[in-house]
Amino acid sequence: MYLNVLIADDSEDDALLLVRELRQGGYHPQFQRVDTREELERALEQRHWQLVITDHTMPGFNSSDVLESVKRSGMDVPVIIVSGTIGEEAAVQAMKAGAQDYIMKDNLARLIPAIERELREVETRRARHQAEQALSHMAYHDSLTNLLNRSMLHDRLDQALTRARRDDTLVAVLFIDLDRFKIINDTFGHTTGDMLLQSAAERLRSCVRRQDTIARYGGDEFVVVMENLESRNEAAAVAQAIIDAMMKPFRINHHEMYIGSSIGIVFSRDCDGRGEMLIKRADVAMFRAKSMGRNKYQFYVAEMGDENESRNQLEQSLYQALARSELELFYQPQVHISTGRLRGAEVLLRWRHPDLGLVAPGLFIDLLEETGLILPVGEWVLRTACQQWNDWLKEGVITEEHVVSVNISSYQFKGADLVFTVGNILADTELPPHMLDLEITEGTLMEDTQLSQQILQTLKEMGVHLSIDDFGTGYSSLSYLKKFPIDCLKIDQSFVRDLINNADDAVIATAIIGLSHNLNMKVIAEGVENNDVLQFLAEQNCDMYQGYHYSRPVPLSEFFGILQRELKEVA
Ligand code: C2E
Ligand code: MG
Ligand code: MG
């Protein structure tokens, strides 16, 4: 075994004697002899020493100087004194000063066992130190993402707030919640879910400043603490960067995955409570951001209150919503652009909450998905819509050309047996399959393209209409679009709403229309809010539209009115 030994001895012969002893003990010593303190200190700088052997007294320095120098070097290296002259008292003194052992020159037989013991102990100390480091790392970090954990976050945040108050600086807390993570975790399994969280954490890291604190707060929740902000915009810019980063597809195990994020931001100056309070309020703001639609950030304002229980409460009441008949379908007309005639309607879920009033799905679709309630609720939506549509068909209020569009969440699309459910509902309600249009988002389809293709194919064979919803927000490649048996493409409203003022949007919308027609698909523009946009779409030969310009989503009775008006006009 190789052994790097530093020998402090003024006698070369004595040193060689030691080396011979080491060789006989089975070591291959790589050694250096020093006989002044300066030489010793220079040698110690090399730091690779495993053992120091020193004489007790040498001209100019002695073993206690050696001990002191080794100690100062910070190295954990055993020092053994080998001396002919050391007396009992000096030996005890030396041991107290940190020498591991002392050996008489005339009893060198003790040297090897002493070295073996000391090297073992160094090894034990090193292992223990490593274990301690690992333990303390574990105590402060999240093992999956290696970000700080919750308890460390609280420490850091409280420290940051103390500093901010002392120096009158600004701290921001960002509460980040990933959208759709639960679905991916359930669809692809935990291993994939874990990998996704790791990549998300990595992206998060790349968005914040070096000095910022990032912690994993819960399953798919993260908190960022930013200190010494010049302005509030700085926090907003980081939030936007995070949102942009999370919207890009994740590629894990050959699957393309889409998540997103909602972020709540609170500033130290708006809240004189402790860190915990700030996090709660950032959470409240995040929840508000989520209710406005995904991929948004929101500052906390006092009017939001501290309704930190609201999410739990909402979840509880959501469980009863279906049974209590609090869920309701709204209808938003879809219109053929060339004729102005009704194509049909998209059904949009609403919740008549006893306290909150009418609640739009932005606030609860995620919860439905996370709790798995989306399956029974989704089935209810589908059944109710088909039933109503067939009733109207029988009553002659609509014709077989009119289509009812139903949103299918990613969870429904892959989680349960959608094909079976749709088949049953069509059979039970007797709605002709071609009058049902299923809207599936681009993100859902791209998550597992092969599976998507199979499911779509089966649905197509049943005769139902298939549309891609929110098109343009994902990253579909053309080759896939060609493989999917899709009838219709819905241009996401983010490209439509402002298309007159935004040249980029106009280009994208135009391209999507051209592309769809090339692939023999029809195009619906959603989010048409004024006549200028409608005119533009008409010029681009867009097939259909829906939006506030024609009508907002309306309750059943109101939509019935629209149908009757339409009926009169056609007649
Ligand atoms: P979506 O499928 O893209 O539905 C269109 C959304 O745009 C609706 O929001 C609608 O009210 C809104 N909208 C329509 N025209 C305009 C317009 O001119 N301007 C603006 N600013 N907005 C317009 P809503 O009803 O809040 O629904 C949001 C999303 O919730 C839907 O997006 C859909 O993804 C989901 N959703 C709604 N109902 C259901 C459902 O029954 N099942 C599932 N799985 N998801 C649903
Ligand atoms: Mg839709
Ligand atoms: Mg849409």
- SS3 for 97-122 is CCCCEEEEHHHHHHHHHHHHHHHHHH
Spatial CB neighbours of 165, under 8 Å, sequence gap ≥ 6: 268
Q: How many CB atoms lie within 10 A of CB 414?
A: 19
Q: Which residues pair with 62 in a beta bridge?
A: 57
**Dihedral sign from CA coordinates of 426, 371, 353, 325:** positive
CA dihedral 241, 265, 409, 218 (to 10 degrees): 100
CA distance 382 to 407: 9
**pLDDT (0 to 100) of residue 312:** 66
> What's residue 203's pLDDT?
97
pTM as predicted: 0.61
What stretches of 284-385 adopt beta strand conformation (E)?
297-299, 327-336, 342-353, 357-359
92, β-bridge pairs: none
**What residues flank ion ligand 2 with Cβ within 5 A?**
407, 439, 469
Note the ligand closest to the C-alpha atom of 496: 1
Residue 46 — φ and ψ, nearest 5°? -70, -20
Q: Residue of the nearest CA to atom 33 in ligand 1? A: 407
| Rounded Cα–Cα distance for residues 504 and 227 (Å) | 36
Residues 6+ apart with CB under 8 A from 220: 177, 178, 181, 182, 197, 200
Nearest by Cα to 542 from 565, 560, 517, 568 = 517
Ligand 2 midpoint to CA 369 (Å): 16
In this predicted structure, what is the pLDDT of residue 366?
A: 78
| 524: three-class secondary structure by DSSP | strand
Q: Is residue 415 scored above 70 in pLDDT?
A: no
Can you tell me whether residue 527 is helix, strand or coil? coil
pLDDT per position as a tens digit, 515-538: 889 889 999 999 999 999 999 999
The H-or-E segment that residue 387 falls in is helix 374-395
307 pLDDT more than 70 = no
Give the C-alpha separation, 271 to 253, whole Å. 43
In this predicted structure, what is the pLDDT of residue 103?
84
At residue 10, the 3 state secondary structure works out as coil
Tokens 């139903």 sit on residue = 406
Say if residues 232 and 184 touch (Cβ distance below 8 Å).
no
The finding on whether 344 has its CB within 6 A of some atom of ligand 1 is no
- Residue 346, both tokens: 């998209």
As a whole number of angstroms, the distance between CA 29 and CA 284 comes to 66
The 10s digit of each residue's pLDDT in 139-174 is: 788 889 999 998 899 999 999 999 999 999 999 999
Instruction: With a cut of 60, say whether residue 308 has pLDDT above it.
Output: no
- Torsion of the alpha carbons at 264, 268, 271 and 274, rounded to the nearest 10: 100
How many A from CA of 348 to the centre of ligand 1?
6
Pocket test for ligand 1, best of 292, 348, 493, 505 (most atoms within 8 A of CB): 348
Mean pLDDT of the chain, nearest integer:
90
Task: Map residue 462 onto helix, strand or coil.
Answer: helix
User: Which residue CA neighbors atom 22 of ligand 1 most closely?
Assistant: 527
Atom of ligand 1 nearest to the CA of 526: 15
Q: At which residue do the structure tokens 């209808």 appear?
A: 331
* CA pair distance 78, 110, nearest whole angstrom: 15
What gap in Å lies between CA 266 and CA 273, rounded to an integer? Answer: 12
218 CA distance to ligand 3 centroid (A)? Answer: 30
Mutation probe of ligand 1 site: the residue of 295, 388, 407 with most atoms within 8 A of C-beta: 407
Number of H helices, E strands in the chain: 22, 24
* pLDDT interval class at 476 (50, 70, 90): low
| Distance between CA atoms of residues 456 and 465, nearest Å | 10
Residue of 413, 414, 492, 526 to mutate, ligand 1, most atoms within 8 A of C-beta = 526
* Domains parsed from the chain with CATH numbers: 2-138 (3.40.50.2300), 150-301 (3.30.70.270), 313-570 (3.20.20.450)
Range with the poorest average pLDDT among 109-118, 419-428, 477-486: 477-486
- Ligand 3 centroid from CA 493, angstroms: 7
Span from the CA of 528 to the centroid of ligand 1 (angstroms): 13
Number of CB atoms found within 10 A of residue 302's CB: 9
Residues 6+ apart with CB under 8 A from 380: 322, 327
**How many CA atoms, within 13 angstroms, populate the side-chain half-sphere of residue 356?**
20
Rounded to whole angstroms, the Cα distance separating 517 from 205 reads 42
**Cα–Cα distance, 48 to 6 (Å, whole number):** 10
Provide the pLDDT confidence category of residue 212 given band limits of 50, 70 and 90: very high
In this structure, which ligand is nearest to the CA of 334?
Answer: 1
Nearest-ligand number for the alpha carbon of 546: 1
In this structure, the chain runs to a length of 571
Confidence band (pLDDT; 50, 70, 90) for 311? Answer: low
Q: Which of 286, 241, 256, 257 is nearest to 182 (CA)?
A: 257
- Residue 345 — pLDDT band, cuts 50, 70, 90? very high
